[in-house]
C-alpha cells in the first residue's frame, strides 16, 4: 500500500518507519528541509530506541522517502496521514493551525487527482476536528467528502522510549470512520498488527486519547495519594498497590466504568469517607480522593436538573434500592433525588417490588425515617399504576421488567439513569443522564408541554 505521512516529527517518523516495516511504501512530507534530507539519507528525525535501524532498513529497501512537495506526496499515495503538532495555549486550548494548513495542502493536491483518497488524522485533536478537516479539504479541492475522499480518525497510543514496540504491539487499533472503503483499507493496512481492530464513530475515536491520558494521570495521582497515606501510617504502599492491581474482576477491569448515576449502598460511601478521614487525621492532603464525594453528589444534582427540565409535576421513580435485585436502601442515591423533588412540590410515585416498607428494619428503617418518612404513602408494587399515574418515568436500576417501559407506556418522558437501553425508537421524550442520541424517533425533538416550572432556591 502507498502511504504519505505529513509531519516527520516524533509520531510521524515512528509511523513512517513502522509502516515501511509492515511492507508499505511511505512518502514523508515536512516543511523542514533538514528532516526531509535526514529521511532521504536513511536517518531518523528523532532519537528513539530501534528507530535508527528501522529507518535505514526502510530506506535501503526503497520503501521510505521524503519530500517537501505535497502534490507529489498525495498523488503517489492512497492514504495521507496528518501527523503534525497541536500545541496548547496557556488556557489549554489546542492550536490546530498546523492541522488545517496540511488539510488545505492535501485539498489543493486533490484538485487534479481522480482516485478516491483517504485522509487520516493521527494527531491528537478534540472532537469536531475531523469534520472541520473534511470541510477544508472539500473547499480546497472542489471535491465531495464520501464520494471523492474521506477523513478518518486514527489516534496513536505511543509512549516515548518504547514507541516502536508500542506501534507494532498496541493494546488496540482504533479508527473512527463513516466510510466502508476506508475501514476496509485500514484493516488491510494494519492486518499484521497483533491487536484488536476497532472501527467506531469518528468523534468517539477523537476523544479516546484524551480520556486515556487523563485516566493515566488520574491513576498516577491516586497511587501517589494512597502512597502518602500509607507512608504516614508506616505501611508499604507498593505492597498495597501490587495487591490492588491483582484484582482483575473489579479494580483493573471494565467494572464500574459505565457512565450513569451516582454510587450508593453501604460500602462505597462509608469506606471512601473513612479513607478521607484517615488521611485528614494524619495531616495528609488528598485532593483527588477528597473530590470523589463532591463529584458523586454532583451526579445526583444532574439527575434532579434533568427531571425538572421536563416541566411535568407527576414523577414516577422505577426502583428505590441502590441496585437491582436488592431491598437495600442505605445511601441509595435516588432517595436523595426524591427528597429534593418532594421538597419542591413534585408529586412522587415510587415502584419497587423488592422494598416492603412494613418490613424495613435496622439501618434501612432509620435511613428512610430520616429521609422519606412519608414513604408508605408514595411507594407501590404495581408498576402499571405508577407508570400510568406519572408523566415522567425515572429508571434507576436494571430490573428486567423496566426494559419494556418504552413500549408499554408511550408518550411519557423517560429519564434513564442506568443505560437500560442501548438504543430506542420511542415516540416519547427520552434522555440519559450521561449519554444522548440513542432515540431514533424524530418525535424526540418535539417541544414539551410543561405543567410545572423549575423551582430555584
- What are the backbone angles phi and psi of residue 298, rounded to the nearest 5°? -60, -35
Q: What is the pLDDT of residues 99-149, one digit of tens each?
A: 999 999 999 999 999 999 999 999 999 899 999 999 999 999 999 999 999
Q: What is the pLDDT of residues 32-73, one digit of tens each?
A: 999 999 999 999 999 999 999 999 999 999 999 999 999 999
State residue 83's pLDDT score.
96
CA proximity to 336, closest of 285, 293, 388: 293
Angstrom distance (rounded) from CA 240 to CA 395: 38
Q: Are 60 and 32 in contact (CB under 8 A)?
A: no
State residue 456's pLDDT score.
57
CB atoms within 10 A of CB 208: 20
Q: What is the pLDDT of residues 244-291, one digit of tens each?
A: 999 999 999 999 999 999 998 778 888 999 999 999 999 999 999 999
| pTM confidence score | 0.86
- Grid cell digits, residue 242: 501490587
Active site residues: 267
- Grid cell digits, residue 235: 505501611
Q: What is the pLDDT of residues 172-197, one digit of tens each?
A: 999 999 999 999 999 999 999 999 99
Strand, coil or helix: 88: strand
Does residue 152 surpass a pLDDT of 90? yes
Domains of the chain with bracketed CATH = 2-200 (3.40.50.720), 296-445 (3.40.50.720)
User: Cα-Cα-Cα-Cα dihedral of 422, 426, 432, 435, to 10°?
Assistant: 60
Rounded average pLDDT over 7-12: 95
State residue 251's pLDDT score.
93
Question: Among the ranges 49-53, 136-140, 328-332, 433-437, which has the highest mean pLDDT value?
Answer: 136-140
Amino acid at each position: 500500500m502507498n502511504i504519505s505521512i505529513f509531519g516527520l516529527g516524533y509520531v510521524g517518523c515512528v509511523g513512517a518507519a513502522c509502516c515501511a516495516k509492515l511492507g508499505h511504501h511511505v512518502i514523508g512530507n515536512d516543511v523542514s528541509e533538514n528532516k526531509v534530507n535526514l529521511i532521504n539519507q536513511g536517518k531518523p528525525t528523532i532519537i528513539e530506541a530501534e528507530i535508527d535501524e528501522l529507518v535505514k532498513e526502510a530506506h535501503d529497501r526503497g520503501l521510505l522517502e521524503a519530500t517537501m512537495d505535497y502534490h507529489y506526496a498525495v498523488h503517489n499515495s492512497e492514504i495521507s496521514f496528518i501527523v503534525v503538532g497541536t500545541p496548547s495555549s496557556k488556557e489549554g486550548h489546542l492550536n490546530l493551525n498546523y492541522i488545517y494548513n496540511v488539510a488545505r495542502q492535501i485539498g489543493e493536491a486533490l484538485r487534479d487527482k481522480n482516485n478516491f483518497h483517504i485522509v487520516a488524522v493521527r494527531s491528537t485533536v478534540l472532537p469536531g476536528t475531523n469534520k472541520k478537516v473534511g470541510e477544508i479539504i472539500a473547499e480546497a479541492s472542489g471535491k465531495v467528502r464520501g464520494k471523492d475522499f474521506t477523513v478518518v480518525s486514527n489516534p496513536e497510543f505511543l509512549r516515548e522510549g518504547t514507541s516502536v514496540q508500542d506501534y507494532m504491539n498496541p493494546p488496540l487499533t482504533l479508527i473512527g470512520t463513516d466510510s466502508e472503503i476506508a475501514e476496509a483499507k485500514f484493516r488491510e493496512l494494519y492486518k499484521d498488527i497483533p491487536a484488536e481492530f476497532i472501527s467506531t464513530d469518528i468523534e468517539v475515536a477523537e476523544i479516546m486519547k484524551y480520556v486515556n491520558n487523563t485516566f493515566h494521570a488520574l491513576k498516577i495521582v491516586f497511587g501517589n495519594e494512597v502512597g502518602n497515606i500509607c507512608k504516614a501510617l508506616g505501611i508499604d504502599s507498593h505492597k498495597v498497590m501490587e495487591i490492588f492491581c491483582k484484582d482483575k474482576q473489579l479494580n483493573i477491569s471494565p467494572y464500574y466504568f459505565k457512565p450513569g448515576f451516582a454510587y450508593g449502598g453501604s460500602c462505597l460511601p462509608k469506606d471512601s469517607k473513612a479513607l478521607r478521614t484517615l488521611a485528614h487525621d494524619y495531616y495528609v492532603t488528598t485532593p483527588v480522593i477528597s473530590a470523589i464525594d463532591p463529584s458523586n453528589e454532583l451526579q445526583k444534582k444532574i439527575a434532579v436538573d434533568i427531571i425538572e427540565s421536563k416541566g411535568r409535576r407527576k414523577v414516577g421513580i422505577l426502583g428505590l434500592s441502590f441496585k437491582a435485585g436488592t431491598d437495600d436502601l442505605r445511601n441509595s442515591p435516588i432517595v436523595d433525588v426524591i427528597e429534593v423533588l418532594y421538597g419542591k412540590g413534585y408529586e412522587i410515585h415510587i415502584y419497587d417490588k423488592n422494598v416492603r416498607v412494613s418490613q424495613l428494619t435496622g439501618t434501612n428503617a432509620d435511613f428512610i425515617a430520616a429521609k422519606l418518612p412519608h414513604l408508605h404513602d408514595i411507594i407501590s408494587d404495581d408498576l402499571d399504576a405508577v407508570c400510568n399515574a406519572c408523566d415522567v418515568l425515572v429508571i434507576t436500576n436494571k430490573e428486567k421488567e423496566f426494559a419494556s417501559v418504552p413500549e408499554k407506556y408511550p408518550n411519557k418522558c423517560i429519564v434513564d439513569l442506568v443505560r437500560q437501553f442501548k438504543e430506542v425508537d420511542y415516540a416519547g421524550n427520552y434522555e440519559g443522564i450521561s449519554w444522548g442520541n440513542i432515540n431514533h424517533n424524530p418525535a424526540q425533538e418535539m417541544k414539551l408541554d410543561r405543567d410545572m416550572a423549575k423551582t430555584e432556591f
